[in-house]
Amino acid sequence: MLKLPTKLNPALINSSTTKTSGKTSDENTTNGKKSVIIKLENVRKTYANGAVGLRDVNIEIYKGDFKFITGHSGSGKSTLLKLLYGAEQVTDGEVTVNGFNLKGLKGNNLAMLRRKIGIVFQDYKLVPKRTVSENIAFVLMAQGYTYKEIQRRVQPALKMVGLLHKADCFPEELSGGEQQRTSIARAIVNTPPLVLADEPTGNLDPDNAWQVIKILKKLNSFGVTVLLTTHDEQLVRAANHPVLHLQNGYII
């Protein structure tokens, strides 16, 4: 079983997160212009059964943005995120994320892109037989980080989500909110410049949902770009970030 040190170096939270994006908010610009991190051009997604996920979508997201994606069930929110991390391929059009053109991207290149994206799901997707620390450390192990570097990174990630005291608990010993915060720690432990969250608050009560938003806002303040889907209009209003609204596969 992986044993992690209990001593914390708080400085790592800032240093690692800043390094994550490689940029602070002010550095997310080139020659005074904001840099594009995500671009969709004339994107259409039709699934094999004929269902349409997205229709003629054109979007630019800039580094350091925090954007909500809203829309009714079936409007294409998850489809949009899946195209960004390569879980689905476009039918037509172009998707570029962090400098990678997603068309035909697979194998090592797709793995390289995914290392630059933290993904958070509604249902947490934690490994039940592993502790909180281990769930987070796995990401780094799979990417070949040294044991020392893993130790250096896991604790700040846990601190960021307020779960240092639960490091040795198993997922079933956590509340829903704590499980979701663990999954956020896992998403950010390798300090990606982009976080995609598909209904991360969908299973949470309002207090826990707001905690999740606060963590994502904090990450965003370090320069991390955040895209988050939700049905929760109250949360969107309270968080006060721009909204991309999808309706029947179209951006409204």
Enumerate binding residues for ligand ATP (CB under 6 A).
47, 49, 51, 53, 71, 73-79
Binding residue (CB under 5 A) for Mg ion from 20, 28, 78, 131 = 78
Do 192 and 20 contact (CB within 8 A), yes or no? Answer: yes
Nearer to Mg ion, 77 or 181 (CB): 77
Nearer to Mg ion, 80 or 185 (CB): 80
Taking the complex as a whole, the smallest distance from the CB of residue 42 to Mg ion amounts, in Å, to 22
Nearer to Mg ion, 4 or 246 (CB): 246
Nearer to ligand ATP, 70 or 190 (CB): 70
Taking the complex as a whole, the smallest distance from the CB of residue 71 to ligand ATP amounts, in Å, to 5
Contact residues for 241 (Cβ-Cβ < 8 A; gap 6+): 66, 67, 68
98 burial (CB, 10 Å; 0-12 / 13-18 / 19+) is middle
250 burial (CB, 10 Å; 0-12 / 13-18 / 19+) is middle
Sheet of strand 250-251, all strands in order from the earlier edge strand to the far edge: 117-121, 194-198, 225-229, 66-70, 243-247, 250-251
Q: Pick what 147 binds: ligand ATP, Mg ion, none; C-beta below 5 to 8 Å, kind-dependent.
A: none
Q: Pick what 93 binds: ligand ATP, Mg ion, none; C-beta below 5 to 8 Å, kind-dependent.
A: none
By the criterion CB under 5 A, which residues form the site for Mg ion?
Answer: 77-78
